[in-house]
Each structure stands twice: as structure tokens, then as C-alpha cells.
Structure 1
């Protein structure tokens, strides 16, 4: 597998920060570009950062978004306390605005969208958030990327020491070993999630929807591939 250059969104959230952290440490990731509304405070020789306010219009960044192998789209919000129309705009409209620009500039790109367990591919279920995420996945799959994936982790064990980890994880992290043993499809680590996205970029996968077991398996596969280098 060759070295890759990746774009990561959501670096000021728990998942995005964790994915950035892993990618900066990984030998197969040559360069990381993050797009934020405010500075991340992360400094690393591999890292470049764009401060951009309008996440519904990326056309002005076209000269800076070409030449990348992957986008790990980790940006998102909780559906709690927000109406369906606003959630749709932030979840679907914002994601598609970025994806359409990226596939135009980088048709050989891999796009990994972190949606979540419970996402509704049928778009017909009772839960609005699940339908919206399902539509987002489905429409991403229609774009002319080399490949696109919907990442559906459940419980993600965070990386210790990172500043954007949700506080409640301090109280529930102890459940991870038991939960993973009883329900392996619903539990993964942040390291596994990020490593799985790197693996998908270089190795591909026969499925577009990537669940918890797939994430763990892909992470192990890449580790095995690294022993051959």
C-alpha cells in the first residue's frame, strides 16, 4: 500500500480529533489537511489547516483541495434538541456540498463518511436522524468517487488525553470490554476506526456500509499488511 494524503473534517469534535491523531502518527499517511471554522491548536509536520467559515460552499477552496487520496468526513452533530430541517441541513446538505467539490477535483478519491450505527439505508424508517443519515450515505455512493463508504460505529472507545472527548465517556469506558464481548458489532476503538479508514483507502472492501466488525477486521488487516513493508 502506498502513502496517502487525506482531508479530515470535524477535527474539533471527538471523532475527528481522534482520527487526526491516529493519521498523524500512521506511517502510511503522508499528509493531513483539516478544514475548520476555528483553529484546532494541533501542530505537526504532516498537518495543514484551512480556516473556512461557510461549510455550505467550498468552491472558493478548489485550488487547495486537489491532489488528495481520501476524505475522512467526521463532522456531525447530535440530533437531540434540534428540529429535523436543521439536522438535515447540517448533516446532508453540508456533507454533499463538500463531497461534490471533492469528487470533481479528485475522482480517484476514497470518501469515508462517519454516519453511525442505526443509520437507515431505506430512508423510510420512523427516526428522522436515521433517515437523513441513510439518504446522505446513499447519495454519496452515487457520486463519481473511486469508492465511498458509510462508517457505522456504535460505541467508540476514545483515545486518552485528547481534549474533545465527551465527558460521559469517563463514566462508561469501563463497559467497553463487556460490551465488545457481548456485542462486537457495536464496539470499536478510535484507533480501529481511523485505521480502518486508512485501510479502505488503500485496500478497498467489497461492502459500502462498514459496521463495527468490519472496522475491527480492517484495522487488523492493515496491521498485517504493515508487517510486509
Structure 2
């Protein structure tokens, strides 16, 4: 039976893939988005809400009736784009937590969050970025969704409209490793397409009762497996 989904962060690198993938599957009859600018994919199944004021996003999500079965969040920004760590925290941490709480209160069954790999390891666990991601993960776990799925990818590979500082050099290095050995690239990074597909694939498996637990963490190897090796369009 087809279900409904909502994608937050749908105009970002991974969120765009999640949206286009969900729209292309019969598993979803309607896909909602809430974003500041229009998402790129077009489909009769797409119900897009444009809202430049992000403080209204939680109420926008809560007002979807009936609530979507699954909410995907690939929401995130950078320190430079946000204008500092404090502003980045408001998006990467605070807004994600607020959205998760709103989803839980509305009766959403499955919440999927694109986090980041290595955030709990020393010494990176002390970095503000890691604390943001860990804080969101812990909040989602405490909300006790029927199904929560956390993706922890390595370096996200793909073309960004606004490159991250130092990003092109790092991505070039990882792609170079991939030319030597695909396994080396898989250890350190994954294409945005693979990550997005893994998020959707995992949600479909969960809907079929095939998730290994109600709090399912996908590390880098799991993302590669679900988003590329076992992916069937």
C-alpha cells in the first residue's frame, strides 16, 4: 500500500536525491516538501510548501493532514552560509530537533535523519559540528518513534551549487582514491545519489517490517550497500 512522506532539506545535495527517489517510487503516493525555494524535481505527486521563514516550518509540518507516514530530514547548512557557529546550530541542531518533535507529536511513524559519520569518535566528538549531529540523533532516539533511521555517511560527494570551503579539494582527493580502488573511496565518502537512495531504501524496508531494530543506524558500509549494491530502481 502506498504511503506518504515529507522531505525537509529537499533543495540540498542529498535532500534533492531523497525527493526525486521517493517521487519515482510507487511506494509513495504523495511527497510533501517544506523549503525556502522551490525543489528541482517536478511530479503530480509533489506537494510543495514554500516558506522563507524557517521558524514556521514546524507548524507547516504539523499542519499536514493526515500526517505523512515518513519524514526525511537532510536539513543542514554550513558555518559560512549561516554566518557563524551560533546560527548554524539553530539550523543543524535546533530546527532539526523541533521538526522531529513536531513529527512525533503529529503521529509520524518513521523519522529518517541524515547525520554524519565519525561524530562520536575522539577527537572529532569535541567539535561543534559533531555536537550538533550527536544532539539531534540523541533527541530522535529519546522521542521513541515507531521507526527511526539515522544515516552516518562519510564525505558527501557531488556537485554543490555553493561549494563548501575546502570541499572541492577533498572531494577530488576521494575521487582520486576511487580511481585506484573503489573500496578506498567507499571507506571515506559516498556519492549523494547513493546516500539519498539508501535513506529511501531503508524507509521502504522499515515499512515492510524488515528493519533490524526500531532505532536503525546506517553507517558508511550500510549506506553503500543499500544505496548502491542492493539498489533496484
Give structure 2 stretches of 5+ with no counterpart.
206-210
Unmatched 5+ residue regions in structure 1?
none
Rounded to whole Å, the distance in 2 between the matches of 1:222 and 1:84 is 36
DSSP-derived class of the 2:134 partner: helix
Aligned to 1:111: 111
Partner of 2:95: 94
Pairs within 5 Å for 1:1-229: 2-57=1-56, 58-59=58-59, 61-64=61-64, 66-80=66-80, 82-108=83-109, 110-120=110-120, 125-158=125-158, 164=161, 166=163, 172=172, 174-175=175-176, 176-178=178-180, 180-203=182-205, 204-206=211-213, 208-219=216-227, 220-221=229-230, 223=232
Tell me the alpha carbon deviations over residues 84-133 of structure 1, each in whole angstroms, 9 at most, x when there is no partner. Answer: 3222212111111111111111242x111112122238999321111121
Partners in 2 of 1:75 and 1:146 — Cα distance?
A: 21
Task: Give the TM-score of the pair, scaled to structure 1.
Answer: 0.79
Per-residue deviation at 1:215? 0.9
Give 1:5 shift.
1.8
**How far has the Cα of 1:183 moved from its partner?**
5.0
Residues in 2 aligned to 1:164 and 1:17: alpha-carbon distance in whole angstroms: 12
Distance 1:186-1:178 versus aligned 2 partners, 3 A rule: same
Query: Following the alignment from structure 1 to structure 2, what is the Cα–Cα distance between the partners of residues 4 and 121?
Result: 37
Q: In structure 2, what is the Cα distance between the partners aligned to 1:165 and 1:25? A: 26
112-121 or 133-142, which moves further after superposition? 112-121
Number of aligned residue pairs: give it.
Answer: 219
CA shift at 1:38, angstroms? 2.4
